[in-house]
């Protein structure tokens, strides 16, 4: 019964609530997940987004991605803060029609087979490379190389997930299993 309710909820989210976004099959979102993007959110096959997470910038997520609970994708330049004499509360925001400042085309790209840990913040205008892991509580402000593990505030390289040989083996096994 619980599985049926989950499937119905996911169907409602994908086909009704978030119909303007491009979400592939096998998607599941925990409770209280919020999407808002100026242009688009694209989510690949078999992705999971944990409860209380938010995507508030243009985003492309690859296949087989796990995003933990309470993760936020946010824009670096969502408010034009350079107006002298204008309170930030009244400055243009990226969602305004007249917004032509930095970040207008900034997005987050999360490649295939990525795990983003609990409570992480991902800033726009970056790419998280294939097979990477983002440690819980990290603030990602720069690109993350494929198959690397990063963590901290700001996120820094910790170690490689696999050796070069293991990466080749991993990708070959996944390809032969027809997962990707």
DSSP H or E run through 134: strand 133-134
22-56 tens-digit pLDDT? 898 899 999 999 998 878 999 999 999 999 999 99
Active-site positions?
A: 79
Prediction pTM value: 0.86
Neighbours of 8 (CB within 10 A): 10
The mean per-residue pLDDT over the stretch 136-161 comes to 98
The mean per-residue pLDDT over the stretch 111-130 comes to 98
Domains of the chain are 2-176 (2.160.10.10)
Q: What is the DSSP letter of 65?
A: -
Question: pLDDT band at 146, cuts 50/70/90?
Answer: very high
pLDDT at 122: 98
Neighbours of 68 (CB within 10 A): 21
Question: pLDDT band at 101, cuts 50/70/90?
Answer: low
> Which of 172, 167, 40 lies closest to 109 in space, CA to CA?
40
């Amino acid at each position: 019964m619980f599985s049926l309710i989950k499937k119905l909820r996911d169907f409602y989210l994908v086909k009704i609530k978030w119909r303007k976004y491009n979400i592939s099959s096998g998607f599941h979102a925990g409770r209280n997940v919020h999407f808002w993007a100026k242009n688009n959110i694209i989510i690949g096959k078999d992705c999971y987004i944990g409860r209380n997470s938010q995507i508030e910038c243009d985003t492309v997520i690859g296949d087989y991605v796990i995003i933990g609970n309470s993760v936020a994708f946010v824009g670096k330049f969502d408010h034009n803060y350079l107006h002298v004499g204008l309170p930030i509360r009244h400055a243009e925001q990226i969602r305004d029609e007249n917004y032509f400042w930095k970040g207008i085309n900034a997005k987050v790209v999360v490649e295939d087979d990525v795990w983003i840990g609990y409570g992480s913040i991902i800033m726009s205008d970056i790419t998280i490379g294939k097979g990477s892991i983002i440690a819980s509580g990290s603030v990602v402000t720069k690109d993350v190389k494929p198959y690397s593990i990063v963590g901290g505030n700001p996120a820094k390289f910790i170690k490689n997930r696999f050796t070069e040989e293991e990466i080749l083996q991993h990708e070959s096994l996944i390809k032969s299993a027809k997962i990707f």
